Structure 1
Amino acid sequence: MDRPDQIRLTGLEVTARHGVYAEEKVTPQLFVIDLCCSLRPRPDTDDLATTVDYSELAQRVARVAGEGSLDLIETLAERVAQTCLAEDLVAAVEVTVHKPQAPLPVPVADVAVSITRRKPA
């Protein structure tokens, strides 16, 4: 079986107020989002209307990721996944949300959560 076509966005940066600690709800911090959308088959044509417009998708993901204040990056990853799955041609998506400035008691380069979601068959 052939592997489906994919669209990847890596390193999408959003400044937001997500986290469980009170200071995270006040002070914005950087979140970095990577996603890989597996696409449903499409016609072999050079027409943007036959695929996912990754510019528009990036804008929608950034808007959803920057809204409100969530406690968990797992919830943020779920919101991003559902945004991607709202696209007709997206069959599945893998989302990784990085929180490189997470307030931890020991130094770490990054904290990340990855999820995979699929549309029902």
Structure 2
Amino acid sequence: MTDTLQIRGIECFGHHGVFEFERREGQVFVIDLELGVDTRPAALSDDLAETVDYGTLTLAVKAAVETDPVDLIETLAQRIAAVCLLAHRVEWATVTVHKPHAPIDATYSDVALTITRQRSQSS
């Protein structure tokens, strides 16, 4: 049995995209996380070591977005999920990568990709 820890709206500045100007100029990406965690040990002990340190995890996700540019948000989402699954208490991760300024010649509010990975599917 797992509970769900959510971290929403992590703003990052990255240089991802298939176009050269996206790589050069960069843009804002917004990350939402849902993490499957059994919180019972932490609830019983009131000890941070028994759960996910979401502050540290958020910084690791931010670093994963802000380094090593890739072409596709699919690749970026997979990278973020792998980072989340490194936290030993995380059983599964649902990652949404928002690219609100994607280069689309139309009026739209957001482009987003959501993936779910389990510990056994992390690679």
User: For residues 17-68 of structure 1, what are the alpha-carbon distances to aligned partners after superposition, in whole Å with 9 as ceiling and x for unaligned?
Assistant: 0000110010010000000000146422201010000000000000011112
Instruction: Report the 3-state secondary structure (helix = DSSP H, G, I; strand = E; otherwise coil) of the residue aligned with 1:97.
Output: strand
Instruction: Report the 3-state secondary structure (helix = DSSP H, G, I; strand = E; otherwise coil) of the residue aligned with 1:35.
Output: strand
Q: Which is helix-richer, 1 or 2?
A: 2
- Alignment gaps of 5+ in structure 1: none
Question: What TM-score does the superposition give when structure 2 sets the normalisation length?
Answer: 0.92
**Could you list the runs of 4 or more consecutive aligned residues of structure 1 that deviate by over 6 angstroms after TM superposition?**
none
Give the counterpart letter for 2:26 in structure 1: P
Is the contact made by 2:39 and 2:51 (CA closer than 8 Å) also made in structure 1? no
Give the counterpart letter for 1:67 in structure 2: T
Q: 2:53 — aligned with what? A: 53
**In 2: Cα distance, 1:70 partner to 1:115 partner:** 17
Is the contact made by 2:74 and 2:113 (CA closer than 8 Å) also made in structure 1? yes
**In 2: Cα distance, 1:17 partner to 1:32 partner:** 13
Instruction: Report the 3-state secondary structure (helix = DSSP H, G, I; strand = E; otherwise coil) of the residue aligned with 1:38.
Output: strand
Instruction: Report the 3-state secondary structure (helix = DSSP H, G, I; strand = E; otherwise coil) of the residue aligned with 2:45.
Output: coil
Q: 2:111 — aligned with what? A: 111
Question: What TM-score does the superposition give when structure 1 sets the normalisation length?
Answer: 0.93
Q: 1:78 — aligned with what? A: 78
**In 2: Cα distance, 1:26 partner to 1:120 partner:** 35
Give the counterpart letter for 2:15 in structure 1: R
